Amino acid sequence: MSAQDADGSRRTVIEGAHIATVDAAGTEHLAGHIVFERGLIAAVGAGPAPAEWREDADVLDASGCLVTPGLINTHHHLYQWLTRGYAPDDILFDWLTSLYPLWSRIDARLTGVAAAGAMAVLARSGCTTVGDHHYIFPRGSGDIVGAIVESAGRIGVRLHATRGSMDLGASDGGLPPDFAVETTDAALAASAQAVERYHDPSFASMVRVAIAPCSPFSVTADLLRESAVLARSLNVRLHTHASETVEEDAYCLERLGMSPTDYLDSLGWLGSDVWMAHGVHLDESAIARYAETGTGVAHCPSSNARLAAGIAPVRDLLAAGVPVGLGVDGAASNESGQLGMEIREAVLMNRLRTGADSMSVRAALRIATVGGARVLGREAELGSLDIGKLADVAVWRIDGVEHAGILDPVAALGLGALPPISRLFVGGRTVVEDGRLTTAEEAVLAEEVAAASRELAGRR
């Protein structure tokens, strides 16, 4: 890897691979090429790259590989990398109740360690853009959002950090304990400050910030309403959890007198600048309202299975025109933390729900790439291998013993074992090579995570 490649400025030519562009036409090249320089895709096509592109370029022979856009993770809780394996058999509300006391002792330093470990694993699974939802900010915990931003820079991935919040404690009818919540005014002020400090709206931005009150059962109507006003005044996006479990539906009906969708709609929380995590329990009218308003959904199949939440109606959402992206969700409810494997999970889970023809491997890849870009408002920059888009590119090796002989290279990714990453580029910069990070020492990350996990557990 050259010094120029390290910053993404050098021209790179990849050829000989099966290239799935995930463009609007679904174009694929059986043995094609892709060229990028200065962080942007310059050419894509069939066969070897033309001679003029090969001059003064790094040429990568990707025979035996599948090339796709870098994957986009639309929902995660990076701090939970330190609390994997807790409450392994609980449903959502019981699981949260078990973990809130531990999470409420987190701080910026531990969160930064967790974020680096989680993003390292995401990168090694083909992920180039990470959407994180952090909503616990104990008093005196430091600049948690800043720590996450710093860790994203350390690993080399794009970050969509959402400044979350909770202001509805148990004494007021919420789920989290009182000591884990903020005041409404403090949450709003801190959200505005995070946007001011870290949000970069530019085309090639490595960090964007959204505003993200946690959920209908941990946030007051005032915080939801005022967060929507604040986000739109700052021209940033909105994110929250919605319709994840039947228990959430029951909570909203009992305490609020309406469904989660109707409740959020009444507070200004449906729109093309909003995406919801999960959307498992959406009926026809809710799906129609999401479609009408352009509200997006982060589909998190493994976490939904781990917590027995159900299977989201993805076929119906897509048929209605709802933007749908893929998410890992918090590592405490998806201990693998790998985004690439969620493509396979999306295929299998949705076939279980609505039949064998309900989710193809290419449809799942589209959700994981351009679907996620649409959910995050970045479809002009990310999600497909189109000329002029950012050079966020995954090169998957599919000629090893796990995949050799699989007829369809895209099925090797979408139905087979997760292929190893031959190269992962973010803005043309190599972040993973031959399955290993190039930006950080994995052994050091592992040691840091283990120590931080023990430290957090000891703070009980």
**pLDDT average, residue stretch 76-81:** 98
**Would you tell me how many other CB atoms lie within 10 Å of the CB of residue 338?**
19
CA–CA–CA angle 96, 208, 82 (5° rounding): 35
pLDDT at 78: 98
How do residues 219-266 score in pLDDT, each as one tens digit? 999 999 999 999 999 999 999 999 999 999 999 999 999 999 999 999
Mean pLDDT, the chain, whole residue set: 96
- Is the Cα torsion angle 222, 225, 228, 229 positive or negative in sign? negative
DSSP secondary structure, 245-270, as one string: -HHHHHHHHHHHSS-HHHHHHHTT--
Does the pLDDT at position 63 exceed 90? yes
Contact status, residue 225 vs residue 268, Cβ threshold 8 Å: yes
Pick the CATH number of 3-69+385-437 from 3.10.620.30, 2.30.40.10, 2.40.128.50, 3.40.50.300: 2.30.40.10
**Would you tell me how many other CB atoms lie within 10 Å of the CB of residue 432?**
27
Does the pLDDT at position 460 exceed 90? no
**Residue 133: what are its φ and ψ, rounded to 5°?**
-120, 105
**pLDDT average, residue stretch 202-224:** 97
pLDDT at 6: 59
Contact status, residue 323 vs residue 377, Cβ threshold 8 Å: no
Cα(203)–Cα(201) distance, integer angstroms: 7
Cα(226)–Cα(188) distance, integer angstroms: 8
Tokens for 248, please give them. 């959430």
Q: Which residues, listed in sequence order, are joined to residue 18 by a DSSP beta bridge?
A: 66
pLDDT at 10: 84
Cα(133)–Cα(130) distance, integer angstroms: 10
Extents of the domains making up the chain: 3-69+385-437, 71-375
Tokens for 227, please give them. 């967060």
What pTM did the predictor assign?
Answer: 0.97
**pLDDT average, residue stretch 151-161:** 98
Helix (H, G, I), strand (E, B) or coil at 286: helix
Pairing mode, strands 324-326 and 40-46: unpaired
pLDDT at 7: 65
What share of the chain has pLDDT > 90, as a percent? Answer: 97
Q: Which residues 6+ apart lie within 8 Å of 292 measured at CB?
A: none
The highest-level CATH class for domain 71-375 is alpha beta
Contact status, residue 282 vs residue 261, Cβ threshold 8 Å: yes
- For residue 24, give Cα distances in angstroms to 229, 343, 370: 34, 19, 9
Helix (H, G, I), strand (E, B) or coil at 28: strand
Tell the burial category of 360 from Cβ atoms under 10 Å away from its Cβ (0-12, 13-18, 19+): middle
For 447, how many CA atoms within 13 A lie in the half-sphere containing its CB?
5
> Do the first three CATH levels of 3-69+385-437 and 71-375 match, i.e. the same topology?
no
Contact status, residue 85 vs residue 338, Cβ threshold 8 Å: no
Q: Give the amino acid at 139.
A: R
Q: Which residues 6+ apart lie within 8 Å of 218 measured at CB?
A: 135, 166, 168, 174, 175, 176, 181
Does the pLDDT at position 64 exceed 60? yes
How do residues 94-113 score in pLDDT, each as one tens digit? 999 999 999 999 999 999 99
What does the radius of gyration of the chain's CA atoms come to, in whole angstroms? 21
